[in-house]
Each structure stands twice: as C-alpha cells, then as structure tokens.
C-alpha cells in the first residue's frame, strides 16, 4: 500500500513518522513546513513536490491540515490532490473541520472518482507522538474496514462513527466541547482553591481519583501548576473547533450555552497574545481577573 501524507504540522509530522516506523511506504508534502518535511524524508519518506505529485504516487492520501478551507485547497486548488489522482484514489481527511464542509468535499470528490472518509483525531501532540490518538471516522464502513489497521498505527482508539461523511467531525466537535468546558472548569476550581488558601497540588491529589477526575484534569492541571503553556493544542485551534461546533449547533437547533461562554474566554486570550499557548492557558483568563496565580 502506497500512502501519501499532506500536512506536517504539530500533529501531522509525528503521525507520518509513526507510519514510517510501521514500515509503510510514504510520500509526503507540506509547502509550509520545510523542516518537518526534511525530517520525515530523513526518516524514509519520499519527498513530494506538490499535492498532485503525492496523489500520483499513492493509493491512499492522509490530509492533516488546519481547517475546512485548507482541506478544499489541498484537494481542489491548482496542483491539488484531485489534479494528480488516479481513478479510485482514497482520501482520509484527519483534519478537524466543519461536518457539513466534510460532507460537501466528499461529494465533490465522488464526482471525480475519488473516495473520502473523515477521521479527525483527539489527544494532542503527546498522543500523536506515541501513536495513541483517538480517531473518529465517518464515511462508508467498507472504507473504514479497509484502513482500520493503517489508522491503528497512529491511534490507540479507532472508531467508526457513522456511514455519513462528517460523522467523524461531528463526534470530534462533541469531544472538543467537552474538553474545552472541562479545562475551563479545572481553571475555575483551582483558582478557587488557591484563593481560599488551599494548596492546588493537594486538591489535585485528593480529587483526581473521584468523580471529578478526568483525562483532561490529569493532562492539563499539572501544566497549569507548572506554568507550562507550551502548546500541545493551541488556543487558536480550539477557537476554530468551537466556532465549528457553534455553527453546527446553531444549524441543528441545539443550545450551546457553555460552549459560547468558553469561546469568549478563548477569544479574550487570543486578543491578549495567548493564541499560541496551550489551551490549558484558559487559566490565565481567571488569573487576569483575580491577580492570583495558580502554581505548585
């Protein structure tokens, strides 16, 4: 199986490296990440010269780019995947984009004889590096079955969420809502503990094994207490995901009250030069109000 990989950012680079480690033949390209492209080529990938070039050398292409317009551009722009695609090429879009956009892109691909499945991921850079991402797939079950083993190289959990294109991205939006609200709740709670004179590290030790405990708390609260806001998942990317969630929620008529509140926090942080921080930096929103830092 010849695999193409388009998009070598924070997530795409380690995902591509894991495919190479597993022995897959990979052709890679990213015009915006020259250093990452050099790294994956050094690890054994073939250097692509364009998205069309990658398509011409691949049976399946994985795309891992920031948002809906970037997926459209990667596939349909001049020098794009569609230009170099052979009949029956499969695209697995692992970007996190709006579900209706995913469905529309898949339909336009089908008109050109290209198959597409959406397979967004959760877990951030650490899980991309160790190959334990949660992967949420939408599209034909036959295509999921065909590539489940391939996806398993990059993910610890690979789940087919529905036959409809966009089902994976709808699942990812639900994930991103829960993560964002959970981080905000942690920031609020640990700010409360600190201001009440209780050591946040002891609060963490006391409650993490109870009902309040979560993967989010285990991953993000130590970062908060260490003042470590190096991005595993940037605030600006979470803003993008919550915008997609809000648009989708408004479209189907569900209230998005908590999501809207956290989105305002994230937007404030973006406007105050924190957009490239990890989303655990929601804590800074509270600290700006109180003037009190949470730390060990």
CATH topology of domain 2-162: Rossmann fold (3.40.50)
Question: Which fold would CATH assign to domain 170-290?
Answer: 1.10.1040
Q: What is the pLDDT of residues 23-74, one digit of tens each?
A: 999 999 999 999 999 999 999 999 999 999 999 999 999 999 999 999 999 9
pLDDT in tens, 155-208: 999 999 999 999 999 999 999 999 999 999 999 999 999 999 999 999 999 999
Per the annotation, the verdict on 172 as an active-site residue is: yes
Q: For the chain, give percent helix, strand, coil, nearest 5.
A: 55, 15, 30
**Catalytic residue, candidates 57, 103, 127, 172:** 172
Do 217 and 190 form a contact (C-beta atoms < 8 A)? no
Q: What local confidence, expressed as pLDDT, does residue 112 receive?
A: 96
Query: Which residues, 6+ apart, have CB-to-CB distance to 24 below 8 Å?
Result: 1, 3, 150, 153
Q: Where are the domains of the chain?
A: 2-162, 170-290
Please report the sign of the dihedral spanned by the C-alpha atoms of residue 232, residue 71, residue 94, residue 35.
Answer: negative
Confidence of residue 292 (pLDDT cuts 50, 70, 90): very high
Average pLDDT across the chain, whole number: 97
Specify whether the CB–CB gap between 214 and 221 falls below 8 A: no
CA distance 281 to 93: 28
Q: What gap in Å lies between CA 50 and CA 31, rounded to an integer?
A: 8
Task: Give the residue carrying structure tokens 């079950």.
Answer: 141
């Amino acid at each position: 199986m010849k695999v193409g990989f388009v998009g070598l950012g924070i997530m795409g680079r380690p995902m591509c490296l894991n495919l190479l480690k597993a022995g897959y033949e990979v052709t890679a390209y990213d015009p915006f990440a020259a250093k990452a492209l050099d790294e994956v080529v050094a690890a054994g990938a073939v250097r692509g010269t364009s998205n069309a070039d990658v398509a011409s050398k691949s049976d399946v292409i994985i795309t891992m780019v920031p948002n809906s317009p970037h997926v459209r551009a990667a596939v349909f722009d001049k020098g794009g995947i569609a230009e170099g695609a052979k009949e029956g090429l499969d695209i697995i879009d692992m970007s996190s984009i709006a579900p209706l956009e995913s469905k529309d892109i898949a339909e336009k691909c089908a008109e050109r004889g290209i198959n597409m499945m959406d397979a967004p991921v959760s877990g951030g850079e650490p899980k991309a590096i160790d190959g334990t991402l949660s992967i949420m797939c939408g599209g034909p079950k036959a295509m999921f079955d065909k590539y489940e083993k391939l996806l398993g190289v990059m993910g610890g959990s690979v789940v087919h969420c529905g036959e409809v294109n966009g089902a994976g991205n709808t699942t990812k939006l639900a994930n991103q809502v829960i993560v964002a609200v959970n981080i905000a709740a942690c920031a609020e709670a640990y700010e409360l503990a600190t201001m009440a004179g209780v050591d946040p590290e002891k609060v963490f030790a006391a409650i993490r094994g109870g009902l309040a405990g979560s993967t989010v708390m285990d991953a993000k609260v130590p970062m908060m207490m260490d003042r470590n806001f190096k991005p595993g998942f940037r605030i600006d990317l979470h803003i993008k995901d919550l915008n997609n969630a809000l648009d989708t929620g408004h479209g189907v008529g569900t209230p998005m009250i908590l999501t809207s509140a956290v989105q305002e926090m994230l937007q404030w942080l973006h406007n105050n030069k924190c957009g490239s921080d990890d989303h655990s930096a929601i804590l800074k929103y509270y600290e700006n109000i109180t003037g009190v830092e949470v730390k060990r």
